[in-house]
Amino acid sequence: MSDAITLTIDEVEVTGRKGQTILQAADDAGLYIPRLCWVKKLKPGATCRLCTVMVNNRPVAACTQPITEGMIVLHDTEPLNRYRRNLIDMMFVEGNHMCPVCEKSGNCELQALAYRFGITAPQYPYLFPRRPVDASHPDVFLDQNRCIQCGRCVRASQELDGKSVFQFFGRGAQKKLGVNAEARLADTNLNLTDEALNSCPVGALLRKRVGYAIPVGRRLYDLQPIGSEIEAKARRAANRK
């Protein structure tokens, strides 16, 4: 019995495999669905909601929703993209994201998504929260000003490193990232080799003393927008036909 499942995403017929989510099937087909909390190596968190698509007129997270035969998915629509722009916008104003001086600039997924969606200035007022910086670890710098609470570091530490260095505290607007120690990152068992350090999509969790080493022009998103790698698959497939 074949594992192939056929579904439609924005009127494009896509063939996925049993057990895949909408996001994974779309990726394989070269259709980029924006995401921040999802990364390949980790179980989906479904916290950022950027990958929200419409299935049977209901919003679902593409990173968790399994595909089914005949499923009809709406993804690149004006209302959904407006909704995504608003979410990105809110992430910017809820933190203190100083892109011009941030060492993650050019490699930052949040910034790259803002560029992709044509956001040049936020539409909501800045909240300018007072958030701490934890520089206690000899090799790692944790700047909560830039944390978007995607949970990637929390999951990476647990699932890939077998540790629980990071954790969330509080609820709603009071929710914040914490570390598994009385107060400081230095008191956790975080190592420089931990996968958690590679997981942060923004400039919140950084290796110390390597900032700005990649020149402007050679950074990840300097030359092409985020998602281009996935979309290139579709172009390659089209060229083959």
Partner 1 sequence: MIERTLGIPSDEKETKVASQNPLKRIALEPVTRIEGHAKVTLLVDDEGHVRQARMHVVEFRGFERFVQGRPYWEMPVLVQRLCGICPVSHHLAAAKAVDRIVGGENLSSTAEKMRRLMHYGQTFQSHALHFFHLVSPDLLFGFDADPAIRNVIGVAKKYPDLAVQGVMMRKYGQEIIKATAGKKIHGTGAIPGGINKNLSIEERDVFLRDIDQMLDWAQSALKIAKDYTTEHLKQLASFGSFPSNHLSLVRKDGALDLYHGNLCAVDAEGNKIFDQVDYSSYLDYFAEEVRPWSYMKFPFIKSLGPEKGWYRVGPLARLNTCKFIDTPIAEKERKEFMKLGKGKPVNVTMAYHWARMVELVHAAEKIKELLHDPDLQGENLVVKGKRRSEGIGLVEAPRGTLFHHYRVNDDDQVVMANLIVSTTHNNEPMNRAVQKVAEEYLDGKEITEGLLNHLEVAIRAYDPCLSCATHALGQMPLLVELYDLEGNLLDRKARGE
107 touching partner 1, by CB under 8 A: no
Binding residue for partner 1, selected from 20, 81, 136, 180, defined by CB under 8 A: 136
Q: Check residue 103 for interaction with partner 1 (CB under 8 A).
A: yes
Residue from 101, 121, 173, 238 touching partner 1 (CB under 8 A): that is 101
Q: Which of 57, 215, 240, 241 binds partner 1 (CB under 8 A)?
A: 215
Nearer to partner 1, 42 or 112 (CB): 112
Regarding 141 and contact with partner 1 (CB under 8 A), the answer is yes
Rounded to the nearest whole angstrom, what is the least distance from the CB of residue 84 to partner 1 in the complex?
28
Residue placing its CB nearer to partner 1 in the complex, 130 or 240: 130
* Under rule CB under 8 A, residue 121 binds partner 1: no
Report if residue 133 touches partner 1, rule: CB under 8 A.
Answer: yes
Among 100, 118, 162, 172, binds partner 1 (CB under 8 A): 100
**Choice between 101 and 121, CB closer to partner 1:** 101
Residue 172 or 215: the one with the smaller Cβ distance to partner 1 is 215
Residue 86, classed as helix, strand or coil, is helix
Nearer to partner 1, 128 or 168 (CB): 128
Pick the closer one to partner 1 by CB: 173 or 216. Answer: 216
Residue 110 to residue 99: CA distance in whole angstroms: 10
Can residue 182 be called a binding residue for partner 1 (CB under 8 A)?
no
Triad 33, 37, 43: Cα angle to 5°: 100
Which among 192, 94, 199, 193 is positioned nearest to 151, based on CA atoms?
199
Residue 202 contacts residue 146 (beta carbons within 8 Å) = yes
Q: Which is nearer to partner 1, 172 or 217 (CB)?
A: 217
What DSSP string describes the chain?
A: ---EEEEEETTEEEEEETT-BHHHHHHHTT-----SS--TTS-----S-TTEEEETTEEEETTTPBP-TT-EEE-S-HHHHHHHHHHHHHHHHHTT--GGG-TTTTT-HHHHHHHHTT--S-SSPP------EE--SSSEEEEGGG-----HHHHHHHHTSS---EEEESSGGG-EEEESSSS-GGGS---TT-GGGG--SSSSEEETT-TT-SPTTSSTTTSS-TTHHHHHHHHHHHHH-
Q: Does residue 130 belong to the site contacting partner 1 (CB under 8 A)?
A: no
- Which of 87, 181, 214, 230 binds partner 1 (CB under 8 A)? It is 214
Q: Which of residues 58-97 bind partner 1 (CB under 8 A)?
A: none
Binding site for partner 1 (CB under 8 A): 100-101, 103, 133, 135-136, 141, 208-209, 211-218
